[in-house]
Structure 1
């Protein structure tokens, strides 16, 4: 059996009349004349199949059916108002869900401040955070399983994605504390030619991998890779055990390991980029809100590409 549809306008008229118990006062409160109010109540009673009010000279009272309907009508109007408010909040970018992918090393730099500021400005937004390396982030953006990426060394051949650089930082040499070069403040890259390397696999960050190996090539050697590790913290831990050395973004120095030394490198002109990434055709207003937060908080470092 189909449930009768009860229009919100009729429910609102019913609730106001139930509260006033006077057609004149209820019509004035609704901003309409008495005849249209009477018509709305009649239509509602026709849908319910029973009278909702007893009408007598100078008095209006709720019938048992009206008393039964009143709390449900109030709940329905409240739910509708809440739903409209929530829809407006989502539509304006003040609420909803934003899915963000981030490279683990960015938890040491831009991620905490960015998320803290965004949450303060938009407390109604649920942030769904996913730790993933750069290449999986690019795939997830294309697959629409994340809305925003925070990654290193964005690809240069993307047309569907947009990238903004939010930070660039130099590279450092990552050495076992017992390594002879750890006694130096700055390491010439060519001095690492005979050491085995621990690097991230190329598959998880092709641009960053190529940049690191390219630095070695420019210094006159091809790095001999002894071990791969997916996260920088693991890279540092393997370096600490003496498995090799590495080149890493300078923020990696915030990983505190007693057996690891971080040293500047020469030449020191090479830098690694951190970028925020998004789909250019994404119409989710929350994406724009986050990009605006990035732009507002880091205007001196933000470069559009």
Structure 2
């Protein structure tokens, strides 16, 4: 059996009249004349199949059916008001859920400040944070499983994704503490020419991999990768175990591991940190995040 549709205006008119128990005062509260108010009440009574208010001797009173309907009508109207307010907050970017992918090394540098700033501005937004390297972030953005990515060395020439720089971080050499170069305050890139490198696989972060390979090429040699690891912490651990050296973003210096030394590289070079999002994405929370980050495009 189909349920009857009740216009919200009829329920609103009924609750106001039930509170005032006077057609004139109720009509004034509603901003309408008495005849339209009476018509709305009659339509509602027709839908219910019973009188909701008695009008004997000029006195208005709720009938048993009216007393039963009143709390239900109030809940419906209250739920509608709450739903509209919630929808408005989401539409304005003051509430909802924002899914963010981030490169693990950025948890040591950019990410904490970004999240604090955003939470301070928009406390009603639920943040869903997922750690992933750059390649998987790009895939997740295209698939719609994250809304925003925070990554290193974004690729160029893409039309479906947009990027904005939020930071630039210098590179450091990662060396075993026993390595002769660890005795120096800085390391020329050409001094690493004979070393095997420990790095993330290229498919996990192609832009960063190519950037480091470019630094080696500029120093006159081709980078030789002797070991891969999918996390920078693991890269450092493998370097400390003597399996090679690495060149990494400077934020990795905050990782404290026995047997590992970090030294500035010469010439000074920097890696680009960017926020990424889908072109044409109308999610207002994405715009809110960009505003909180204050990126330079």
Which category describes the TM-score, using the shorter chain as reference length?
over 0.9
Find the counterpart in structure 1 of residue 144 from structure 2: 144
CA distance in structure 1 between the partners assigned to 2:275 and 2:21 by the alignment = 59
CA distance in structure 1 between the partners assigned to 2:30 and 2:8 by the alignment = 13
Deviations 1:259-291 (A, max 9, x none): 2110011121x2110001111211111111111
Q: Does residue 248 of structure 2 align to residue 225 of structure 1?
A: no
Find the counterpart in structure 2 of residue 303 from structure 1: 296
- Compute the displacement of 1:193 (Å): 2.1
CA distance in structure 1 between the partners assigned to 2:52 and 2:144 by the alignment = 51
> Aligned runs of 1:193-232 on 2, under 5 Å?
193-232=193-232
CA distance in structure 2 between the partners assigned to 1:224 and 1:71 by the alignment = 75
Deviations 1:215-253 (A, max 9, x none): 112222223322101111111111111111100011111
* Unaligned stretches of 5+ residues in structure 1: 296-301
Find the counterpart in structure 2 of residue 298 from structure 1: none
Moved more, 44-53 or 117-126: 117-126
Find the counterpart in structure 1 of residue 236 from structure 2: 236
Structure 1 stretches of 4+ moved >4 Å = none
SS in 2 for 1:17: helix
Q: Does residue 32 of structure 2 align to residue 32 of structure 1?
A: yes
- Compute the displacement of 1:98 (Å): 1.2
Find the counterpart in structure 2 of residue 256 from structure 1: 256
Deviations 1:57-97 (A, max 9, x none): 13111111111111110000000000111111111111111
CA distance in structure 1 between the partners assigned to 2:267 and 2:27 by the alignment = 82
The TM-score with structure 1 as length reference comes to: 0.94
The TM-score with structure 2 as length reference comes to: 0.97
Q: Does residue 65 of structure 2 align to residue 72 of structure 1?
A: no
CA distance in structure 2 between the partners assigned to 1:225 and 1:291 by the alignment = 36
> Aligned runs of 1:1-305 on 2, under 5 Å?
1-268=1-268, 270-295=269-294, 302-304=295-297
CA distance in structure 2 between the partners assigned to 1:232 and 1:147 by the alignment = 24
CA distance in structure 1 between the partners assigned to 2:37 and 2:224 by the alignment = 85
CA distance in structure 2 between the partners assigned to 1:256 and 1:57 by the alignment = 87
CA distance in structure 1 between the partners assigned to 2:95 and 2:214 by the alignment = 44
